[in-house]
């Protein structure tokens, strides 16, 4: 008898036909269908939000009544059709002004201040937790930092209003008690957990063999971290910064409470400022529906959608470029 004939009949016949493979049960099919339905509903909801915001902002381009008061030129120019050259946001004045530049500059100031404080602290904490902290210390520090993500933004804003504003004014002698610096510092508490969690996961994902190879070649622990681990985890750290930027741009309550809400067009961090999100939150509830002011507020919302989309797209390209440079993708 040959070796082939000695094999079991099932193995001798080769793999089972496709029709004989186990089919998923009813419970599995229901679970798959539920997951697919949730995904499709989520995508549809996002698209509907885009459509609704765009529809409400469309009168800026189509309505003659709105055009008498505001156009795209006044939004991105001086802000008024009366010949006034001041770049101001004064939608309820005798001569309404709708220049978005004070709001754009205010949003950028607060966001950049928050990133300047949050990114070094969060990435440094991630490096410590993943590379240096003992296991028991890691079990304490990591959950403690991540718990910040569960703190309501209104509580952080209240802390910034009562405590941080006083500290900042005493330390820096700022002209306004509530300003871009105070709002940025408060906002950094909100984005630290995001940057920390994603960065720490990226650092822990670096294979242990990288560290062992660097140490075996005579590198110190610090050299292995700085020259091997951090570059290998760079795509994940870059993604965490992009996520932090998107979180900071879209934050509302902290900047409403702690920024001073004065739409001033200047580069000073010690002056009160106003962001796009704070403007929408404060003015949309009292605006006349269908008015020029109403359409402009929805146009600001559309600008936020576009800005976050562009930032995420650019961030994705940066992360992809870093991964290609490191040779982790083709």
In this structure, is residue 193 part of a structural domain?
yes
Domain containing residue 275: 97-326
Q: What is the pLDDT of residue 20?
A: 52
For helices 180-204 and 101-127, give the axis angle rounded to 10 degrees.
40
Contacts of 265 (CB under 8 A, 6+ apart): 87, 88, 99, 101, 102, 105
Cβ(256)–Cβ(154) below 8 Å: no
Q: Given this model, what pLDDT does residue 316 score? A: 77
Q: 3 in a domain, yes or no?
A: no
Is there a domain that residue 66 lies in?
Answer: no
pLDDT of 236 reads 86
pTM of the model: 0.81
Q: Is residue 72 part of a domain?
A: no
Q: What is the pLDDT of residue 70?
A: 81
The predicted structure's pLDDT at residue 21? 60
- CATH number of the domain residue 305 falls in: 1.10.3720.10
80 with 152: CB under 8 angstroms? no
With H, G, I as helix, E, B as strand and everything else as coil, classify residue 260: strand
Given the structure tokens 């720490």, which residue do they identify?
200
Q: Is residue 285 part of a domain?
A: yes
Q: What residue has token string 């193995």?
A: 11
DSSP 116-177: HHHHHHHHHHHHIIIIIS-HHHHHHHHHHHHGGGGS-HHHHHHHIIIIIHHHHHHHH--SSS
The predicted structure's pLDDT at residue 54: 86
Cα separation, 255 vs 181, in Å, equals 11
The pLDDT value given to residue 11: 47
Q: Please say whether the beta carbons of 262 and 180 come within 8 A.
A: no
Q: Residue 191: inside a domain, yes or no?
A: yes
Backbone CA torsion sign across 76, 81, 83, 86: negative
Average pLDDT, 10 consecutive residues per value, the chain (330 residues): 49 52 76 91 91 87 78 74 70 84 92 94 92 87 86 91 92 89 93 91 87 86 88 87 88 91 88 92 87 89 86 77 64
Q: Which of 248, 12, 214 is nearest to 115 (CA)?
A: 248
Tell me whether residue 211 is in a domain. Answer: yes
Is 314 inside any structural domain? yes
State the Cα–Cα distance between residues 328 and 330, nearest whole angstrom: 7
The number of folded domains in the chain is 1
Nearest-angstrom CA–CA distance, 189 and 151: 9
Tokens found for residue 241: 């910064």
């Amino acid at each position: 008898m040959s070796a082939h004939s000695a094999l079991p009949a099932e193995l001798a016949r080769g793999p089972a036909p496709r029709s004989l493979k186990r089919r998923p049960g009813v419970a599995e099919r229901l679970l798959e269908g539920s997951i697919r339905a949730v995904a499709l509903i989520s995508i549809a909801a996002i698209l509907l939000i885009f459509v609704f915001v765009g529809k409400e902002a469309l009168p800026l381009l189509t309505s003659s009544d709105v055009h008498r008061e505001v156009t795209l030129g006044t939004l991105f120019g001086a802000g008024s059709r009366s010949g006034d050259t001041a770049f101001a946001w004064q939608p309820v004045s005798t001569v309404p002004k709708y220049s978005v530049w004070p709001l754009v500059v205010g949003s950028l100031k607060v966001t950049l201040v928050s990133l300047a404080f949050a990114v070094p602290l969060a990435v440094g904490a991630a490096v410590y937790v993943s590379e240096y902290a003992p296991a028991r210390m890691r079990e304490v520090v990591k959950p403690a930092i991540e718990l910040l993500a569960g703190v309501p933004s209104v509580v952080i804003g209240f802390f910034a209003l009562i405590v941080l504003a006083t500290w900042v004014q005493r330390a820096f002698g700022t002209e306004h008690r509530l300003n871009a610096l105070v709002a940025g510092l408060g906002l950094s508490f909100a984005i630290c957990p995001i940057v920390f969690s994603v960065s720490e996961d990226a650092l822990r994902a670096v294979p242990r063999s990288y560290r062992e190879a660097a140490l075996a070649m005579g590198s110190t622990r610090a050299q292995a971290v700085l020259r091997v681990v951090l570059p290998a985890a760079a795509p994940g750290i870059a993604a965490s910064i992009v996520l932090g930027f998107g979180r900071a741009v879209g934050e509302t309550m902290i900047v409403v409470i702690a920024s001073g809400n004065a739409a001033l067009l200047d580069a000073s961090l010690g002056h009160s400022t106003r962001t796009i999100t704070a403007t929408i939150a404060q003015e949309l509830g009292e605006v006349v529906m269908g008015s020029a002011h109403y359409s402009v507020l929805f146009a600001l919302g559309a600008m936020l959608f576009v800005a976050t989309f562009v930032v995420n797209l650019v961030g994705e390209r940066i992360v992809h470029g870093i991964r290609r440079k490191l040779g982790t993708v083709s």
